Structure 1
Amino acid sequence: MSDTPVATPVSFAEFPAVTTAEWQARLTRDLKGQDPATLRWPLSDGFSVEPFYHREALAALGGPPAPLPHPQAPWLNMPTFSVPAGDGRAAIDQAAAALATGADGVHFILTDASTFAVHHLAEQLPLADTYIGYTLVADPDVLLAQLLDAAPGTALRGFLRFAPGPVPEGAELADYRTALRRCVSLTTGMPNFQALAVNGAFFGNRGATATQQIAFSLNTAATLLAELPNDEISAAQVAAAMHVHMVITPSYFPEMAKLRALRRLWATLLHAFGLPAKLNQRLRIHAATASWTQTTLDPHTNLLRHTTEAMSAVLGGADSLSVAPFDSLFAEANDFSGRLARNLSVLLREESGLGRVQDPAAGSYYLETLTDLLAQEAWVLFQRMEEAGGMPKVRAQALEEIKEMATETFRRIASGQQVIVGTNRFQNRGEQFSFHPKKLLRSANFDVTRAAYPTEVLRLATALHFERREKKSKRAAVVLLGSNTNQVILDTFLNMLLPHERPEMAASHPEGTLSLLYSSPEEATLMYATPEQFQRFARFIYQIPTEKQVFIPPTLLSSDMPTLQEAVRVFGFQEMKVQGYTTEQVLDRIQGR
């Protein structure tokens, strides 16, 4: 139209153009002879980020890539509500209150979907208008049928994530094909409801690199596309029903690039299955702040982590976002931390305006290059896994590769190479816990898979030991510190010593053993035992008969001192020694005494 304003080219004539060669020359001069390669930032994905990027970076990509599709703008702010066994009415009412105070949708994690009060849900949250996600562990098709019965003729909005156990969903597909096909059939014709989840969060919350998260998510999607279609359901219907769950860590720019690379490779995957490109426009990514990077020590730092994680998610193109309360690792759900988590998205959208641009990273020399690198590396890994048989066959291999990366992360944290503020660096030595460490360590719900856990549990166990010693308690305790964490303990200790004070391990415990802390009023001793020894020990302390097959011991086991002391000896626990230092001295240093 003639009255449409013409965009004025942006120029900064007062700043002379600087060539790449001139930037490099200045960089060399400022480094005063130091190798510029020392400024590279190595990522755990196996490649490094350069200290600067220039316009030639886009030329190397074949020109500026087209902005990525972003169908939902701005993103939906979706707090998560864990629903214990029961009808869930309290959680439904809390969700309704959240929707009235800044939330755009809600995500229910259901312990038992069979008892969920779907009719009360439909009354409180109109299903035709409310975007609702459901995560459940059994019978996804039954829940969907109940939802449709509660609101006849309604086209649902939201998503379904079926997480049947401690494995990626696509890795155990054989037992659930019929149920998942029914989910697709029930929701076909509902463009705003995705009934099949590709759960990249499963990998991310176990320590997978960005490359692994993308690749293994694509392997899961490929399994669904290959296995679910039949005479009644087409591959296009399966693709339209899929969405992706991803978790976001504080690594600000790589996490943005991770979501962007996933969108690009999703189009490549659909093309490989001969599906129309328009289906890529329908891909919805639900992002959540990562439990992998949350901490119990100095927990208010989680608020800061969640801020960068949330920004990475929305700037990377997430369609919906769940921000966890900062105290969710140790506290019951409460209005205060829930409101802070919910308002983070509101602030980013309403005050920062981050939802006003389709693809904010588009055209950035750095982010476009990083997106392309992640996409290349992830596609190579995806193809390697597909050649080995795809997700059903390579599940164990994928989890082992993730475990290797997680173990390396534990080592970097213990040695101080990777900083976790408030946990292994800048600790609050006078911190007063807002939770009871003993109760937390005994809780079956305490998340022991996180990056900070080996460092946290050592400090928590140390605090409990000193408390027991001061109170002159007549009881003793054994705390399970983790699998093969003797090196973590040593690295953590060494990181607090001056170079001339650094000892050596007098006797390292064998591969595959567990690290323990035996604590009594008189002494504390670092020990190790095989899993079998610890299992027999725990059964004895808790009087669990050996014929009972399934028994998961708590992290903290306590008893009267003579019993525990004798049991430690009888079941063959061995002392782990640090040359020149007693356990008590090691714990003193770690606790900052």
Structure 2
Amino acid sequence: MSELLPAQPVAFTEFPALTSAEWQARLARELKGQDPAALRWPLPDGLVLEPFYHREALDALGGPPAPLPFPARPWLNVPALPVPAGSDGHFEVERALTALAHGAEGVHFELAHAATFDADYLAGRLPLATTFIGYTVASGPDELLARLVAAAPGTALRGFLRFAPPLGPEGGEQVGYGAALRRCVALAQAWPDFRALAVNAAYFGNAGATDAQQLAYGLSTAAALLAELPDAATPLAAVAGALHWHVAVGPSYFPELAKLRALRRLWPTLLHAYGLPPAAALRVHAATATWTQTTLDPHTNLLRATTEAMSAVLGGADSLSVGTFDSLFAAPNEFSGRLARNLSLILKEETHLDAVQDPAAGSYFLETLTDELARAAWALFQHTEAAGGLPAARPQVLENVHTAATATFRRIAAGKQVVVGTNRFENRAERFPFNPKKLLRSAAFDTTRAAYPTEVLRLATALHFERRERKTRQAALVLLGVGVNRHIEESFWRLLPALERPELAASHPEGTLSFLFSSPEEATLMYATPEQFQRFARFLYRIPVERQLFMPPVLLSSDLATLQEAVRVFGFQEMRVQGYTTEEVLSRLQGR
């Protein structure tokens, strides 16, 4: 067989080179007088993306940036397996064996209570020396790691440990975690393929943070760990070498891809500030975001996860957890687990994305977006550090994330941000694959999601219409939440004559909670203060006042007379809109 000829550079010399000005003129002609600026894409971070980029964009960056280094190995397909409180983890270990036998390249155990997890059983069923395993724990990270060492003595573990205390990411709270984290670093120091400290940027991303916020506050978390953990027995270089990142990836394809690329560019800058050499082996674990998952039309979660996974691997993630489409309402099961696992397999085995080095490199648009996002994140990081860094600036950080999340709720409520199957292109004939009443009562139902205000209103009204058809004498009060106040107002606002809008606004006082009172005859939208609701729920469930810790469920039900009297006594107020019944308001909100 003859030798292949060397590839020749591609050139189109027959086509004259065009300047940006010439392209802009052509765009103006094609738009027939429409201003090209109308096609700009504003991002929640305040960045504005242009509809057109040309080679001058790279000149503005000082020339084409160097491509990100080719990964030492393709990304690992690492499904997450939640281990509920009180479980010894045997069931989840067997599920891990099944996943590893069918394409998974690692597993991530999310332990609700690490103390009960059977490390000996795990070591007996899985070869810990060759299996990539992640562990997320809410307490006792060093104790779990010590038990793993005892269960597999002399074994160099592979994977990662993420300590996720209830109040925030490690490094974000001023509490006595330092000794435990230093012990984790010491235990794992001889394991080159294990990272014992996590920069939990996903904590912010799944609470509604923007991309720049997730990066900036992740950098602040890392800075807190690098500043606080080193001591005489734990050198700074050991702390830096033990760090890895957890990032939540949303469905906005290009910004999410650029976010991971920006992280790779920012990390050496932070290490340089501590006098450390660039870490070529930065480990990034990406997971599809819980923030963007939906309960309504849940199969759309499969489509969201696809774009999220593609952004993650094209952005340079080292390992990836794809969430199951039904995790919000269904127990872990092999069907949805297999679909999530196979998504990553298709991207690798059929799409061959693992064979591409930094596919965004050289793109005028993506290189510019990466640079702008990195600059915005670094500026916000510097602002946070100037305010004292974490944990001192934690209240302001959480307030900023809350503001970003509230803005998302408002965009969804006003229809400016589309959530397919939830606020646009809804399946009005949808038959829920779950019991709405049971789901709303469940303490495990994730209320920290972008679609939650819209979902809970739809689920509550569905329950009302079902109750009306059955003519049951039970009544229910459904907590819709603070965000739903705004959702109701903004969704119904545009339907009202201008003179009636102040009345609607007055019936949604700031700082109150929204409720749906549902009886067999009617549904009434109401509001009350959090204190009124707390007293109401304690009365209904006979919870004594001296028991301070009590989290009322979202759905409260009782016989009609008792609930009506309790609503009257505790001062709940009806949301009134002149000329419209509550039924009409609900029907319009539901698109009926």
TM-score (norm 1): 0.97
* 1:68-104 deviation per Cα after TM superposition (whole angstroms, max 9, x unaligned): 1353431000101011222111100100110000100
Distance across 1 between alignment mates of 2:4 and 2:273: 42
Q: What's the counterpart of residue 311 of structure 2?
A: 312
Amino acid at match of 2:130: D
Amino acid at match of 1:358: Q
* 1:332-390 deviation per Cα after TM superposition (whole angstroms, max 9, x unaligned): 11111110000000000000011111211111111100000001010010001001111
State the shift of 1:249 in Å.
0.5
Secondary structure class of the residue paired with 2:326: coil
Amino acid at match of 1:24: Q
Secondary structure class of the residue paired with 2:171: helix
1:202-351 residue pairs with structure 2 within 5 A?
202-277=203-278, 280-351=279-350
Amino acid at match of 1:314: V
Secondary structure class of the residue paired with 1:106: strand
Q: What's the counterpart of residue 511 of structure 1?
A: 510
1:53-202 residue pairs with structure 2 within 5 A?
53-84=53-84, 85-202=86-203
State the shift of 1:190 in Å.
1.3
Aligned residues of 1:493 and 1:589 also touching (Cα < 8 A)? yes
CA 1:505–1:11 in structure 2 vs 1: closer, same or farther (change >3 Å)?
farther
Secondary structure class of the residue paired with 1:485: helix
State the shift of 1:116 in Å.
1.2
State the shift of 1:511 in Å.
1.3
Distance across 2 between alignment mates of 1:13 and 1:437: 64
Distance across 2 between alignment mates of 1:288 and 1:358: 21
Q: What's the counterpart of residue 376 of structure 2?
A: 377
Q: What's the counterpart of residue 575 of structure 2?
A: 576
State the shift of 1:494 in Å.
4.7
Identity %: 69
Aligned residues of 1:482 and 1:516 also touching (Cα < 8 A)? yes
CA 1:331–1:391 in structure 2 vs 1: closer, same or farther (change >3 Å)?
same
Q: What's the counterpart of residue 43 of structure 1?
A: 43
CA 1:151–1:535 in structure 2 vs 1: closer, same or farther (change >3 Å)?
same
Secondary structure class of the residue paired with 1:153: coil
Secondary structure class of the residue paired with 1:68: coil
State the shift of 1:31 in Å.
2.2
Amino acid at match of 1:217: G
1:393-408 residue pairs with structure 2 within 5 A?
393-408=392-407
TM-score (norm 2): 0.97
Aligned residues of 1:503 and 1:580 also touching (Cα < 8 A)? no
Amino acid at match of 2:189: T
**RMSD of the TM alignment (CA)?**
1.6
Aligned residues of 1:478 and 1:519 also touching (Cα < 8 A)? yes
Aligned residues of 2:123 and 2:151 also touching (Cα < 8 A)? yes
* 1:429-458 deviation per Cα after TM superposition (whole angstroms, max 9, x unaligned): 000000000000000000001000000000
Amino acid at match of 1:273: Y
Distance across 2 between alignment mates of 1:499 and 1:4: 75
State the shift of 1:562 in Å.
0.3
* 1:302-352 deviation per Cα after TM superposition (whole angstroms, max 9, x unaligned): 000000000000000000000011000000111111100000000000000
Amino acid at match of 2:272: H
Secondary structure class of the residue paired with 2:481: strand
**Number of equivalenced pairs:** 588
Aligned residues of 1:463 and 1:591 also touching (Cα < 8 A)? no
* 1:126-168 deviation per Cα after TM superposition (whole angstroms, max 9, x unaligned): 1110000000011111111111111111111000000111322
CA 1:499–1:37 in structure 2 vs 1: closer, same or farther (change >3 Å)?
farther
Amino acid at match of 2:108: H
State the shift of 1:191 in Å.
1.5
Aligned residues of 1:415 and 1:494 also touching (Cα < 8 A)? no
Secondary structure class of the residue paired with 1:546: coil
Aligned residues of 1:484 and 1:512 also touching (Cα < 8 A)? no
* 1:217-263 deviation per Cα after TM superposition (whole angstroms, max 9, x unaligned): 00000000000000111111101000000001100000000011111
Distance across 2 between alignment mates of 1:302 and 1:501: 41
* 1:541-586 deviation per Cα after TM superposition (whole angstroms, max 9, x unaligned): 1111111010001100000000000100100001112332111111
CA 1:172–1:500 in structure 2 vs 1: closer, same or farther (change >3 Å)?
closer
Aligned residues of 1:246 and 1:287 also touching (Cα < 8 A)? yes
State the shift of 1:22 in Å.
1.3
Amino acid at match of 1:20: S
Distance across 1 between alignment mates of 2:440 and 2:195: 38
Is 1:536 paired with 2:535? yes
CA 1:75–1:14 in structure 2 vs 1: closer, same or farther (change >3 Å)?
farther
* 1:35-94 deviation per Cα after TM superposition (whole angstroms, max 9, x unaligned): 221111000001100001111111110111111135343100010101122211110010
State the shift of 1:502 in Å.
8.8
Amino acid at match of 2:374: A
Aligned residues of 1:503 and 1:579 also touching (Cα < 8 A)? no
Q: What's the counterpart of residue 468 of structure 2?
A: 469
Amino acid at match of 1:563: T
Distance across 1 between alignment mates of 2:100 and 2:557: 45
State the shift of 1:504 in Å.
5.6
Secondary structure class of the residue paired with 2:285: strand
Is 1:26 paired with 2:22? no
CA 1:430–1:54 in structure 2 vs 1: closer, same or farther (change >3 Å)?
same
Q: What's the counterpart of residue 354 of structure 1?
A: 353
Aligned residues of 2:454 and 2:484 also touching (Cα < 8 A)? no
CA 1:293–1:406 in structure 2 vs 1: closer, same or farther (change >3 Å)?
same
Aligned residues of 2:413 and 2:454 also touching (Cα < 8 A)? yes
CA 1:70–1:165 in structure 2 vs 1: closer, same or farther (change >3 Å)?
farther
Distance across 2 between alignment mates of 1:217 and 1:78: 22
Aligned residues of 2:436 and 2:459 also touching (Cα < 8 A)? yes
* 1:494-552 deviation per Cα after TM superposition (whole angstroms, max 9, x unaligned): 56x59999966433322111011111011111111000000000111111111101000
State the shift of 1:487 in Å.
2.3
Amino acid at match of 1:486: N
Aligned residues of 2:130 and 2:158 also touching (Cα < 8 A)? yes
Distance across 1 between alignment mates of 2:405 and 2:152: 45
Q: What's the counterpart of residue 435 of structure 1?
A: 434
Amino acid at match of 2:47: F
Distance across 2 between alignment mates of 1:424 and 1:123: 48
State the shift of 1:282 in Å.
1.4
1:359-370 residue pairs with structure 2 within 5 A?
359-370=358-369
Secondary structure class of the residue paired with 2:579: coil
- Structure 1: state its 5+ residue gaps: none
